[in-house]
Amino acid sequence: MLQRRSILLIPSALATTLILAGCGTGTDLAQRPPPGYVGDVAARVAAVDWAQARPVTVELAEFAFQPEHLAFEQGVPYRLTLENRGNVAHTFTSEGFFKAIAVRRVTTPQGPVDTPALVNLEIPAGQTDVVEFVPVQAGTYALACHEPLHSSFGMTGTIAVR
Give the residue from 27, 142, 159 showing the smallest Cα distance to 91: 27
> What percent of the chain is modeled with pLDDT above 90?
69
CA 91 to chain centre: 5
pTM of the predicted structure, to 2 decimals: 0.82
- In this predicted structure, the answer to whether residue 151 has a pLDDT above a threshold of 80 is no
- 56-112 tens-digit pLDDT: 999 999 999 999 999 999 999 999 999 999 999 999 999 999 999 999 999 999 999
- Better pLDDT: 119 or 66: 66
**All structural domains of the chain:** 24-161 (2.60.40.420)
- In this predicted structure, the answer to whether residue 7 has a pLDDT above a threshold of 60 is no
- 9-30 tens-digit pLDDT: 333 333 333 333 334 456 777 7
Buried b (16+ CB within 10 A) or exposed e, 61-88: bbbbbeeeebebeeeebbbbebbbebeb
Q: If you ran DSSP here, which 8-state letter would residue 86 be given?
A: S
Strand partners, 112: 107
- pLDDT, residue 26, reads 67
Contact 105, 115 (CB under 8 A): yes
